[in-house]
Chain A
Amino acid sequence: MIPLLEHGMLAQRNHDEESRQSFVNDFRIHLASNVFPGNFPTYYNRVLPNFIKNKGREPETRHEVRKVMTHDPYYSFWSAMQRNSQEMIWDSVIDSVERQLPELIEKSRKTGDKGSLILDPDLEIPKYHVAADIHLQPGAYHSDQIENDVAAGAMYDWGTYIYSMGGLGTGNNALGQITNGFFKNEFPDKKPLRILDMGCTIGGSVTYWAQQHPDAECHAIDVGAPVLRYGHARAEALGAAVHFSQQNAEQTNFEDESFDVVMSHILLHETSRTAIQNVFNESYRLLKPGGIMMHLDLPQAHGQQPLEGFLFEWEIYNNNEHFFAQLRDMNMSELCQKAGFKNEDIHPKSAGSFWMDDKTPYADDGFEFPITIGIK
């Protein structure tokens, strides 16, 4: 695997740790390109004929496909391997983080002061974070195991890079590159002065925005303290000014109409039915008149055939992305309208690596994310 670009906070891997991570990376590429595609002939040659024999018709929904496919031996074996590969990601990054943790904490406390970091130890971590560790990251994004912990951030940096098989780019900022490229194309005349990224984790996206918009004041919020500590130190190490604060995107302490851009990168599917509406409401409240809301997330179910729809949902059931099951069928425009956006100012779009300025070798050129735009 091509290593992440060096920055001051990256956990250094020893000989075997580097090799282990490379194996997990290559194994996941193998699963995606050689094993996963076998689910199609399995379905059309084995599962579907059986279904038709029993019911006299084809499955009508992805849920019906799920009931039969999860009993097929080929699918089950692929699924079990995929789940293991996810857990192996974390196993392969824990050791180096654990070994260097005191040093990483020390570094995070002696950062530059271009940006800032404000934590709120009293912030209630929402239930949708506490109920299950999203993406199976042990301890998720919010657990402090020791004082001033940065472990969750350090694990997340390497872990998500391996998860994406390099697709997030060697700067771990592909999603920021996508939203930024998309924004520049859609709104060439806008010069944002104040930008907010919601659910920023280690700030990969917002740090990229800060580098691209040096005159703008960039803010980033998340509920997880360890990812914010790490993200702040990472941004400083990269020479970017970002103001991190520990806040819930459902209700922040920023003033009304104080941002030109309010955005998020794959945050929505990690919230809840109530929370997602709150996030849209809050986005509307925070935007200046004429400001732009951009929420980039994962594809919805509309237009997908039953089998494709089912396969797309593997992570819901096997990688702790539970709310994605509901988000798949939700009407984003309706959420925007309820938040206050006028119908003509709501634009469901999509954006992908086409908009990236750094074409990393592993970037998947075919994949596009839906992006919900609202103009206040």
Chain B
Amino acid sequence: MSDKIKITPVNRGKRPAFFDDPAIDQLMAIVMSMSAEMSVLYDRVDTIERLLDNKGTLSRDDIEAFRPDQDTEDERNVRRNEYIARLFRIIHEERESLVSHDKMDEYNELMDELAKP
């Protein structure tokens, strides 16, 4: 019985629509999930490479038991961030095409102002 517990991954509440065509919202969710899975796969390959570097051989259990130490996790973070940046190149292109401005500073100043007791 215990192995049949399922937590339904659905949240209650009205789902907002971000695009005119709901299919685009759905496609976006699919692309995001694929991005996550590709990152997981990359980490798994990285684990395999590290195990092979160290031991020259490996088993599935070795892979499952592997946990990145802080140095490894730092390296993975750098790689993940580069990966995410490549993934969203088109978004950054749009952002860069708009003239920069000083309003972000104004926003930060406002936040600082609000933060005062």
Find chain B residues with CB under 8 A from A43 CB: 103
- Please report the C-alpha to C-alpha distance between residue A14 and residue B76 in the assembled complex, in whole angstroms: 17
Cβ–Cβ contact B117 & A350, under 8 A: yes
B85 to chain A, nearest CB (A): 7
- Closest A residue by C-beta to B30: A84
- Please report the C-alpha to C-alpha distance between residue A14 and residue B101 in the assembled complex, in whole angstroms: 45
- Please report the C-alpha to C-alpha distance between residue A321 and residue B103 in the assembled complex, in whole angstroms: 27
Q: Which has the most chain B C-beta neighbours within 10 Å: A30, A46, A97, A305? A: A30
Cβ–Cβ contact A303 & B114, under 8 A: yes
Select the stretch in A108-116, A135-143, A245-253, A337-345 that faces chain B. A135-143
Within 64-89 of A, Cβ neighbours of B (below 8 Å) are at 73-74, 76-81, 83-85, 87-88
Find chain B residues with CB under 8 A from A18 CB: 67
Cβ–Cβ contact B80 & A22, under 8 A: yes
Find chain A residues with CB under 8 A from B8 CB: 138-139, 145
Cβ–Cβ contact B44 & A15, under 8 A: yes
- Closest B residue by C-beta to A30: B84
Cβ–Cβ contact A84 & B29, under 8 A: yes
- Please report the C-alpha to C-alpha distance between residue A318 and residue B14 in the assembled complex, in whole angstroms: 9
A305 to chain B, nearest CB (A): 7
User: Which DSSP category, helix, strand, loop or mixed, fits chain B's interface?
Assistant: helix
Find chain A residues with CB under 8 A from B14 CB: 132
Cβ–Cβ contact B84 & A19, under 8 A: no
Contact with B along A135-171 (1 / 0, CB 8 A): 0111110000110000100010000000000000000
Find chain B residues with CB under 8 A from A352 CB: 115
**Contact among B9, B64, B99, B108 with A15 in the assembled complex (CB-CB below 8 Å):** B64
Within 45-86 of B, Cβ neighbours of A (below 8 Å) are at 47, 63-67, 73, 76-77, 80-81, 84-85
Find chain B residues with CB under 8 A from A90 CB: 9, 11
Cβ–Cβ contact A84 & B32, under 8 A: yes
Select the stretch in A34-42, A230-238, A264-272, A284-292 that faces chain B. A34-42
Q: From known contacts A23-B40, A24-B36, A91-B9, infer whether A40 and B104 are also in contact, taking CB-CB under 8 Å.
A: yes
Find chain B residues with CB under 8 A from A26 CB: 77, 80-81, 84
- Please report the C-alpha to C-alpha distance between residue A22 and residue B115 in the assembled complex, in whole angstroms: 30
Cβ–Cβ contact A98 & B6, under 8 A: yes
- Please report the C-alpha to C-alpha distance between residue A94 and residue B11 in the assembled complex, in whole angstroms: 12
- Please report the C-alpha to C-alpha distance between residue A85 and residue B115 in the assembled complex, in whole angstroms: 27
Find chain B residues with CB under 8 A from A23 CB: 35-36, 39-40, 80
- Please report the C-alpha to C-alpha distance between residue A87 and residue B76 in the assembled complex, in whole angstroms: 23
Cβ–Cβ contact A366 & B115, under 8 A: yes
Cβ–Cβ contact A76 & B5, under 8 A: no
Find chain A residues with CB under 8 A from B101 CB: 40-41, 44-45
- Please report the C-alpha to C-alpha distance between residue A366 and residue B108 in the assembled complex, in whole angstroms: 9
Within 88-117 of B, Cβ neighbours of A (below 8 Å) are at 88, 91-92, 94-95, 98-101, 103-104, 106-108, 110-117
Q: From known contacts A22-B80, A90-B11, A318-B16, infer whether A34 and B44 are also in contact, taking CB-CB under 8 Å.
A: no
Q: Which has the most chain B C-beta neighbours within 10 Å: A20, A27, A131, A307? A: A27
- Closest A residue by C-beta to B99: A45
Cβ–Cβ contact B44 & A19, under 8 A: yes
B95 to chain A, nearest CB (A): 4
User: Is A299 interfacial (CB 8 A cutoff)?
Assistant: yes
Find chain B residues with CB under 8 A from A85 CB: 32
- Please report the C-alpha to C-alpha distance between residue A317 and residue B80 in the assembled complex, in whole angstroms: 29
Q: Which has the most chain A C-beta neighbours within 10 Å: B65, B77, B91? A: B91
- Please report the C-alpha to C-alpha distance between residue A19 and residue B63 in the assembled complex, in whole angstroms: 12
Q: A22-B43, A37-B95, A41-B98 are in contact. List 17 more A-B contacts (CB 8 A).
A: A16-B40, A20-B40, A22-B77, A23-B80, A35-B92, A38-B95, A40-B103, A41-B100, A43-B103, A45-B101, A77-B91, A91-B33, A94-B7, A101-B5, A133-B12, A366-B111, A366-B112
B interface, CB within 8 angstroms of A: 2, 5-14, 16, 18-19, 25, 28-29, 32-33, 35-37, 39-40, 43-44, 47, 63-67, 73, 76-77, 80-81, 84-85, 88, 91-92, 94-95, 98-101, 103-104, 106-108, 110-117
Contact sample, A vs B, 21 pairs, CB 8 Å cutoff: A15-B43, A18-B67, A19-B43, A19-B44, A22-B39, A23-B40, A26-B80, A35-B95, A38-B91, A38-B92, A38-B98, A45-B98, A83-B18, A88-B33, A91-B9, A101-B5, A138-B7, A308-B107, A350-B114, A366-B112, A367-B115
